Amino acid sequence: MTYILVDTANTFFRARHVSGRGTDLDTRISLAFHILFNSLKKANTMFSGKHVVFCLEGRSWRKDVYEPYKKNRTVVLDKRSQGEKEEDEIWWEAFEDFCTYITEQTNASVLRESTAEADDLIALWTQAHPNDKHVIISSDSDFYQLINNNISLYNGVANQVVTINGFYDEKDKPIIDKKTGLTKMPPDPKWMLFEKCIRGDSADNVFSAYPKVRKSKLEEAYKDRDNQGFMWNNLMLQRWTDHNGVEHRVKECYERNQKLIDLTQQPEDVKAKIYQQILEAQNPKHISQVGIRFMKFCSRYGLTRLSEAPTDHAQYLNSGYSSVIKSEVNN
């Protein structure tokens, strides 16, 4: 069984980003939907997907345990002009219309938990289906930590596939690193997670646990992570002072960042709510005439080319959820 797991807001708004600024708004929204649906179709075809799971955003529980979390985005939003605010509102209306459509007019699973991010939903879905294959559609590098023999990452906007074996284009050719001119090395999920927990994540406003630390020092500590001997403690017990004169210990900052970044670290009550969503997804939706409903959605946004081949999209939107989930989830 292969699941196509969609980081829905990420995919739609990345499509918005590449839709251009020289055309009118209606045309750009139409183009964004073209990119979104074509990414879904490509992923379903490339990976022989059997069921699509759309994961939506809630208000993250991380904001309650770490006050600065994603506050940088609020600062950017506050600086928008009135015209930019009005345009953003129209984009969000189109996105919510899409969310209503996939929920009420297709047989795809749609997960949304008010206290969790799409990242959490995707991570726990893979944990609930450990013996199945999963393809995550997103441009978010946070998902690198999940990559293994059963989990791949597909960026439908950049047409890039990341597997445990390396980085590939949509024709399965290795991607060349522009900096080195060599084939991009396969990802090391455990190292990437460790490094991000130390370096922090500027995109989410998660501060570094040890600013400006040398990579060689991190590599030495990482090799010693299982024994937690001298090299590990030589990193974790270091102290540093921020620009306000406040002293921090690396170990405490690292553990804070682990809770925020490691996608196995959700609080138990949040996990329970997400697993309940997954259990409820087992109930079949039995939506009929999915192809016709797809054509009606296309007509609202001028998606003429897509509506000319509705069967291509109705196939993955009509395929219902059918699987046995991990026994712990049922208990």
Range of the domain at 293: 2-187+266-330
Place 75 in a pLDDT band, splitting at 50, 70 and 90: confident
Query: Tens of pLDDT along 185-212?
Result: 888 999 999 999 999 999 999 999 999 9
Q: Is 20 domain-assigned?
A: yes
In the prediction, which pLDDT does 331 show? 58
Yes or no: say if 263 and 126 are a contact pair by the CB < 8 Å rule.
no
* Residue-wise pLDDT tens digits, 118-140: 999 999 999 999 999 999 999 99
- pLDDT confidence bin for 330, thresholds 50/70/90: low
Looking at residue 178, its pLDDT comes to 87
Number of neighbouring beta carbons within 10 Å of residue 31: 19
The count of structural domains within the chain is 1
Q: Report the CATH number that the domain containing residue 60 is assigned in CATH.
A: 3.40.50.1010
For residue 295, being part of any structural domain is answered with: yes
Q: Note the pLDDT of residue 322.
A: 73
- pLDDT score, position 88: 94
Q: Could you read off the pLDDT of 293-306 as tens digits, one per residue?
A: 999 999 999 999 99
Any idea which residue has 């991190």 for tokens?
Answer: 218
Say how many CA atoms lie within 13 Å of 29 toward its Cβ.
Answer: 21
Question: The pTM is what?
Answer: 0.94
Tokens 């797809």 belong to which residue? 294
CA distances from residue 169 to 42, 51, 157 in whole angstroms, order as listed: 12, 23, 11
170-189: pLDDT as tens digits = 889 999 988 899 999 888 99
What number of CA atoms fall less than 13 Å from residue 264's CA on the CB side?
A: 7
Helix-then-strand count for the chain, H and E: 15, 9
Q: Which of 22, 39, 94, 103 is nearest to 301 (CA)?
A: 94
**Phi, psi (deg, nearest 5) at residue 327:** -60, -35
Domain membership of residue 313 (yes or no) is yes
The one-letter amino acid code at 324 reads V
Average pLDDT over residues 154-177: 92
Cα 4 from Cα 198, distance rounded (Å): 31
pLDDT interval class at 325 (50, 70, 90): low
Asked, for residue 257, whether it belongs to a domain, the answer is no
Question: Does any domain span residue 225?
Answer: no
Summarize pLDDT for 230-275 with one digit per residue, the tens: 999 999 999 999 999 999 999 999 999 999 999 999 999 999 999 9
**Residue 49 φ/ψ, nearest 5 degrees:** -65, 145
Q: What is the pLDDT of residue 216?
A: 97
